[in-house]
Structure 1
Amino acid sequence: MVDLLKLTEEALEVVRDIVLESIKSGWGLKPRSIGAYGDRSYTFDLVAERTIIDIITEKLKNVAIISEELGVTGSGNPDYYVLIDPVDGSRNASRGIPIYSTTLVISKTMNSRDIIVGGVIDHVSGELYIGEKDGTVIASGGEPKLTNVRSLKDSYLIVCMGSIRDERYRKWTEKIISNSGFSSFLASTALEICYVIAGRVDGYVCLGPYLRPFDFLAPVFLLKLAGGTYRILTVEGVTEEVDLSAGKNFGVIAAPNDELAIEILNLKEDP
């Protein structure tokens, strides 16, 4: 039987080496086509995707792949569903900003409640965040270090800039930023949520529908395993689970505890 945790770790570590080499040598920085979900792809995106798919399918013969670049491919009746964001933070990587990652999820069904394994690797530092359902989380080589910050006024938050640009969420976002101790934005959702797990920040906030499942499902799965909490936001409200291949986008609030998450939610103005 295949050890899915080890397989995920292997895929993430191999893809990191290949992406870094492609960027260092320059050939990975060439712009390519538009990916399946509408974003500009670079050569390093496509190489990362192909590397992960090859490693996964060598060990798992009957899988469906859901990836940012290719869309949905593989078996129509799979044993596992594999969700991939080959490089989260491609724009950062292409401009030499050292904040980008790869995410990988393996699930028994298309529903996020059935995720078995999730992993995120920081390409620049090599830090790996990985965990298995009903197990523990390894966060950058050690245990998770969620903070005990329970009040917005004491918090250091990462806030998605799209929430400010969008008039529908601007007032809510401004309230969050005004009431927080400090806020920032790094443009790699997966790493930003992993920083909550590592205790580097106290929360991640993206209020509007700007994220696709492969952007956030791996890190929120790990956050929950580590004892933290999250809310997936839709235009209709809050949901706890999503379809891995969902064509629509979502928002996310990630926090070390319910108190902080609820305080953020409660700042929303009623229509």
Structure 2
Amino acid sequence: MELWREVLNCVESVRAYLRSSSVSYDVVGQNPFGDVSKGFDVEAERIAEKCLAQVLGEVAFLGEETGLRVSGTPKWIAVIDPVDGSTNFTYDIPWASISLAIAPYRESARVRDVTLAVVAEVFRNVTYIYRGGSVEVLGAKRCGRRAQPAPIVLGYFDNECSHKPILKYTSSNARKLAIRSLGSAALDIVYVGLGNAEAFIDSRAKLRNVDVVAAIRIATALGAKAVDCSNGFRDALDIEVCEERRVSCLAVAYSDEQFNRVLSALQ
């Protein structure tokens, strides 16, 4: 069996667990980023890591629940967010995903080095896969990229400062835009790549690289533009994947037209 299919089977094992009756919603501690960890977060990551270790052999892990773990001489780094959209998942709001990215291991590895990326919807049998420089969509009625993006901005804000760039972006647009905060950044970013929304903006300083690495690889391969605006502007493909890192500001746009307006809104 091809390696990517074996990795995909690992993701399917996580999805099967999350849909099972054995899921635990109990709070069991905090993750390395200081967020609450629930039983299903920890168990989903354990299932993924156990399976990936069998498939990939010597592999380092950067996980939302356990942080960075390196042993031996790893060939690969696997970046895992087992449940992106934990609050939605807890309350049966059907917008959550499993996010996994794999790159050859080296300390300087970046998003652009990712060779396989998977974002899998938890509540639907829809999976987005980056491999070999292109993107496949499994299980969706619509698999291609829209010729024109939907008039929707996806984003998050918790104060006036993080709300401002979203409002600035929408006010600069000639057409009326809807604003939505859905609860899974990975799915949001992939949807921008597909053209189901035209932009994603989050400047709350709450995202982590584990949340977005796979999604950025998929979206940019579809043709989207992504910027890490945490400290100035840099290509989001240069976000590190071999260390725990907050992404204080991230924006993704469908194409150059929307990207230029996003950059203006963030200034």
Q: TM-score, normalised by structure 1?
A: 0.87
Q: Who is 1:145 aligned against?
A: 145
Which secondary structure does the structure 2 equivalent of 1:234 belong to? coil
Displacement of 1:92: 1.1
Displacement of 1:193: 1.3
Q: Who is 2:167 aligned against?
A: 174
Displacement of 1:15: 0.7
Structure 2: state its 5+ residue gaps.
Answer: none
CA distance in 2, matches of 1:38, 1:228: 31
- The 1:130/1:242 distance shift into structure 2, 3 A limit, reads same
CA contact (8 A) 2:126 2:137 kept: no
1:267 paired with 2:260, answer no
1:1-271 to structure 2, matched below 5 A, reads: 3-21=2-20, 25=21, 27-109=23-105, 110-138=109-137, 140-141=139-140, 143-149=143-149, 155-162=151-158, 165=159, 167=161, 169-179=162-172, 181-240=177-236, 241-244=238-241, 245-269=243-267
Structure 1: state its 5+ residue gaps.
Answer: none
Displacement of 1:113: 2.1
- The 1:93/1:123 distance shift into structure 2, 3 A limit, reads same
CA contact (8 A) 2:227 2:233 kept: no
CA distance in 2, matches of 1:230, 1:146: 18
CA contact (8 A) 1:146 1:196 kept: no
Which secondary structure does the structure 1 equivalent of 2:249 belong to? strand
Q: Which moved more, 1:138-147 or 1:90-99?
A: 138-147
Letter in 2 for 1:129: Y
CA contact (8 A) 1:129 1:140 kept: no
Displacement of 1:74: 3.4
CA distance in 2, matches of 1:83, 1:133: 18
Which secondary structure does the structure 2 equivalent of 1:29 belong to? coil
The number of residues matched between the two structures is 258
Q: Which moved more, 1:209-218 or 1:196-205?
A: 196-205
CA distance in 1, matches of 2:223, 2:87: 31
Which secondary structure does the structure 1 equivalent of 2:211 belong to? helix
- The 1:37/1:3 distance shift into structure 2, 3 A limit, reads farther
- The 1:13/1:210 distance shift into structure 2, 3 A limit, reads same
CA distance in 1, matches of 2:120, 2:208: 18
Which secondary structure does the structure 1 equivalent of 2:134 belong to? coil
Letter in 2 for 1:15: V
- The 1:133/1:207 distance shift into structure 2, 3 A limit, reads farther
Which secondary structure does the structure 2 equivalent of 1:235 belong to? coil
Which secondary structure does the structure 2 equivalent of 1:137 belong to? strand
CA distance in 2, matches of 1:11, 1:211: 24
CA distance in 1, matches of 2:62, 2:5: 20
CA distance in 2, matches of 1:72, 1:197: 28
Taking only aligned residues, the RMSD between alpha carbons, in angstroms, comes to 2.1
CA distance in 1, matches of 2:118, 2:9: 10
Displacement of 1:203: 2.0
Which secondary structure does the structure 1 equivalent of 2:74 belong to? coil
Q: Deviations over 1:90-110 (max 9, x none)?
A: 111112212111100001133
